[in-house]
């Protein structure tokens, strides 16, 4: 069972989906490490959680003081689970769930950040298809973030991906940090100065 790790809702349950739905939520260990790193960006932040799954990262951010989180997920069962989690945790005033395909573009999401941009963008694209074939969505999504102009000047983009998915330079973004947890890599980007 997944739970919120820290903040105002520490210890509260996060609902998930059946394991056969090929949704692999971020582990508690990686989530803790991630939030230790991005702590300065969370309080008061407007956050975008792409490929949100069941919303684990965005919910953790709300518990830790984010002012607003926009969740983007294309699978209906996941969208309903995020909505259930938001309701259960009492975050309805601070959360927006959008059913959409991230790869169709991101510029339209600026509206949900009141055209000011997002202070923190997290993406955890799926690693594999239901047929167990590898997926490599991170570079395409990073490019969409850079082209969409949706990151605030001081914001941070965090990408969780399989270690075999190699990330290269993205025009407009600087790679500032890399962490590895088993077969999972987490990379951190900021806007080029």
What tens digit of pLDDT does each residue of 55-108 get?
999 999 999 999 999 999 999 999 999 999 999 999 999 999 999 999 999 999
What tens digit of pLDDT does each residue of 16-51 get?
988 766 677 888 999 999 999 999 999 999 999 999
Domain that holds residue 186: 2-191
Long-range pairs, 6-13, Cβ under 8 A, ≥24? 6/32, 6/35, 6/60, 6/63, 6/64, 7/60, 7/62, 7/63, 7/64, 7/65, 8/63, 8/64, 8/65, 9/59, 9/62, 9/63, 9/89, 10/63, 12/63, 12/88, 12/89, 13/88
Across the range 109-115, mean pLDDT stands at 94
Instruction: Give the dihedral sign, CA 23/103/160/39.
Output: negative
* CATH number for the domain that contains residue 160: 3.40.50.150
| Count: domains in the chain | 1
Q: Which of 119-123, 149-153, 165-169 has the lowest mean pLDDT?
A: 165-169
């Amino acid at each position: 069972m997944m739970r919120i790790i820290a903040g105002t809702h520490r210890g509260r349950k996060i609902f998930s989906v059946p394991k056969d739905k090929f949704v692999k939520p971020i582990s508690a260990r990686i989530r803790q490490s991630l939030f230790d790193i991005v702590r300065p960006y969370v309080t008061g932040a407007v956050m975008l959680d792409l490929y949100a799954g069941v919303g684990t990262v965005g919910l953790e951010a709300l518990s830790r003081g984010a002012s607003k989180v926009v969740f983007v997920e294309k699978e209906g069962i996941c969208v309903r689970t995020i909505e259930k989690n938001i309701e259960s945790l009492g975050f309805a005033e601070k959360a927006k769930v959008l059913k959409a395909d991230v790869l169709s573009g991101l510029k339209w999401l600026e509206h949900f950040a009141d055209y000011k941009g997002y202070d923190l963008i997290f993406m955890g694209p799926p690693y594999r298809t239901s047929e167990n074939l590898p997926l490599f969505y991170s570079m395409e999504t990073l490019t969409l973030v850079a082209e969409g102009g949706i990151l605030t000047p001081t914001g941070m983009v965090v990408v969780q991906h399989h270690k075999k998915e190699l990330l290269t330079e993205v025009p407009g973004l600087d790679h500032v940090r890399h962490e590895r947890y088993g077969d999972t890599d987490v990379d951190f980007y900021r806007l080029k100065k």
